[in-house]
Structure 1
Amino acid sequence: MTITVTATRISPSPDMLGESPIWDDRLGRLYWVDGVSCLVRYLDYATDRVGEVKVPSIIGSLALCQESGRLIVGLADGIYLLSIADGTLEPVYVPEPVNERVRFNDGKVDRQGRFLCGTMGVFAEPEGTLIRVSGDGEAECLATGIRISNSVCFSPSGDTFYFADSLDRAIRAYHYSPEREPLTEPRIHVDTRPYHSGPDGATVDSEGCIWVSLVQAGKIGRFTPEGKLDRLVEAPVDMPSCVTFGGPDMSILFMTTIKDSGSGRAISRHPYGGYLFALEGLGVTGIPEPLYG
C-alpha cells in the first residue's frame, strides 16, 4: 500500500550528496554526511543547533563509537576515527596500495561492535569489496566484485545481515554469525526491479522490517522480515538516499536526499533536493544503532 506521512524539512541548507544519517540517543543528535562536499554534519534536535566538520576526501558513511564525540567514518581511501571536536583523524584501516578506482561507501556497525563498510567502483566497475573492522582494528574482507555497496544493516537480533550492490537492483540477506566467520550464501530478500529503482541506504525498525530508499523512484519502501512489501512512502523530493530512525522515542524517520551526486547518475529536479527531512506518523519505531569498539 502507499501511505502519506508528515514530512518536515529540517536542515538549513541542502547537501550535494546527503547520506548515512544516524541518531545518537546519548546526545539527542543526528549525524549525517554530505559525501561530495566532504562534510560530516550534525543537528542537535532539541535546540536546532547545527554544525559540520570538514574531512579531507569524499565520505561515504559514518557510525557511532563507544567514546561519545568520536565517529568511525568511511573516507575515499579508508576507514578512520574522527574527532568531532577538532576534526582530527586516526586511521583504522587503509588498504595498501591505494586503489583510486574505488572508494568507501555505505557502512554500519554490527551487534558485536564491528564496522562493516563496502567500497564501490568510482565509475561503477565491479572492483568493490566489503570490509569488516573489529574494535581492535583488525580487518577482514567478506566479499569482492561489488559495483556500488549499499543497504548495509542488520536485523534487531543481529543474526541477519542485509546488503546490496545497487546495480543488481536487489537486497540480499545473509545468515550472520556473532563469531568471526565468512558470510553465508545469500538469498534475495527484496527484488527492487518492480519499484523501478536500485536500493540505496536502508535501516531496520523494532519489528524487524527493513526500510530502504528507492532513490530512482522517489519512494521509501518497508519490507517485512520475509521480504514482502508492507508499504510505500512517497518521499517529499525525487531522490531519497538513506534513512534512519531517531528522535526522543525513536519514532521519526530521518531521510537524507540528493541534489547532485557528482557522478552524473543522480541529479535532483526538485527545489528541495539535497535537504534533510523528518518523516512522522509512520506508527513504528526504530532501535538504537550499535556502537563501534
Structure 2
Amino acid sequence: MEIAFFGTHRNKLGESPVWDDARQCLWWVDSLVGRIHAAAPEGTAIATFVQDQAVGSIGLAKGGLVAALADGFYAIDGETGAATPIVVLPADATLRLNDGKADRAGRFLSGQMQLHTNGEPSDASLWQLSGGEATALADGLRLTNGICFSPDGATLYFADSLEGVIRAHDYDAATGAIGPRRDVVDCAAFGSGPDGATVDTDGNLWVALVLAQAVACIAPDGTLLRSIAMPIPYPACPAFGGPDLDTLYVTSIADSGGRLISDHVDAGRIVAITGLGVTGIQEGRYRDNHIRE
C-alpha cells in the first residue's frame, strides 16, 4: 500500500470525489466556497467551476454533472460550469444539502444538514431526485453523510454523522423505494462519527472517520476489516478511481465553517491510496431529460 498526495490541490472543505470514466478525471468540490474541481489522473488541474452558493455534492450526468447545491438540485454544464435549476427545495435558512450519490439506476440522492445544530433532530431530510422531481426518503436528520449503494444497488447506506450509526435500507432499483432501517455499525467504537463513504466490488464499505484521522473498511455485517491512518487531519470522503478503479481518493477538511478547523500544513489536501488489493465500482450517471446529452 502507498499513500501519496494527489497533486497540490488544497480545499477548505473537500468533499464528494467522483471518478469520471468518460473523461478520465476526478471531480470533487470545495463545498463552502462553492467550487467544483476536476483533475487528471496525475493530479493536473483540468477545470474549476464557481457557483454562487455552497456545493454539497456532485454526481456524473449527461452533458456534465448533477449537483446538490445548498438550496436544491442543479444541472452543471460540463464545459462552462453553468448551473441550471432542476428542483429548488422549500426555503429553510437552517438547512442545506450535503453529501450525495447517484444510485445504480440513474437517480441522485442527497441529504440535508442542519447549519446550527442544537443537539436535537431537525427537519433535514434525505432527498431522491428522479425525473425532475425530488422526494423525501427519510426525515429527522441533522447531518446526512455516507450515502452509497451496494454493488447490486439493492442496499442503500447512509448515516447521520451526529448520531454516528451507519444504517442500511433495502432499495428497490425499479421504483426507488426504501425498506425499513437496519443498523450496520456505530462508528463511535472507532472514535469518530462517519463522514463520506463508498463501496468496493466485494461490497465492503470504505468510510471516512473524520475525527479519528482514518479511513475504515467495514463489512456489510459491521465488522471492521481494516483501518488506515491518514497523513491529514479530518479525512472527509473516499472514492475509488483511476483508470483501473484501484486508487482510493480521500478528500479532507481544513475549515468546515466552524465545526472543524486545522492549521496542519497539509490540511485540505487530497490523498491517493494505491496497492489496496481491491477495486471500486464506477459510479452511475444521473439520467434526466432536464440535462442535455
Between 45-54 and 229-238, report the one with greater CA deviation: 45-54
Match of residue 84 from structure 2: 90
Matched, 1:55 2:47: no
Deviations 1:242-288 (CA, angstroms, capped at 9, x unpaired): 000000111100010000111x2111242101011111111100010
Task: Give SS of 1:276's match.
Answer: strand
Between 167-176 and 49-58, report the one with greater CA deviation: 49-58
Q: What are structure 1's unaligned runs of at least 5 residues?
A: none
Task: Give SS of 1:11's match.
Answer: strand
Q: Which runs of structure 2 are paired with 1:219-258 in the superposition (5 Å)?
A: 219-258=214-253
Q: What are structure 2's unaligned runs of at least 5 residues?
A: 288-293
Deviations 1:174-213 (CA, angstroms, capped at 9, x unpaired): 1111233542211111210111100000000010000000
Match of residue 14 from structure 1: 10
Kept in 1: contact 2:253–2:267 (CA 8 A): yes
**Where do 4+ consecutive residues of structure 1 move more than 3 Å?**
none
Matched, 1:180 2:178: no
Deviations 1:38-93 (CA, angstroms, capped at 9, x unpaired): 1001102257243210011011100001x24x100011111100113122111111
Q: Give distance in 1, aligned partners of 2:35 and 2:7.
A: 14
Matched, 1:116 2:112: no
Q: Give distance in 2, aligned partners of 1:121 and 1:245.
A: 28
TM-score w.r.t. the length of structure 1 is 0.94
Q: 1:64 aligns with which of 49, 54, 60?
A: 60
Kept in 2: contact 1:189–1:227 (CA 8 A): yes
Residue type at the aligned position of 1:171: I
Q: Give distance in 2, aligned partners of 1:43 and 1:79.
A: 23
Question: RMSD over aligned Cα, in angstroms?
Answer: 1.3
Kept in 1: contact 2:7–2:42 (CA 8 A): no
Kept in 1: contact 2:34–2:51 (CA 8 A): yes
Structure 1 residues 12 and 181: alpha-carbon distance in aligned structure 2, compared to 1, 3 A threshold: closer
Matched, 1:140 2:135: yes
Q: 1:131 aligns with which of 95, 112, 127?
A: 127
Q: Give distance in 2, aligned partners of 1:282 and 1:207.
A: 13
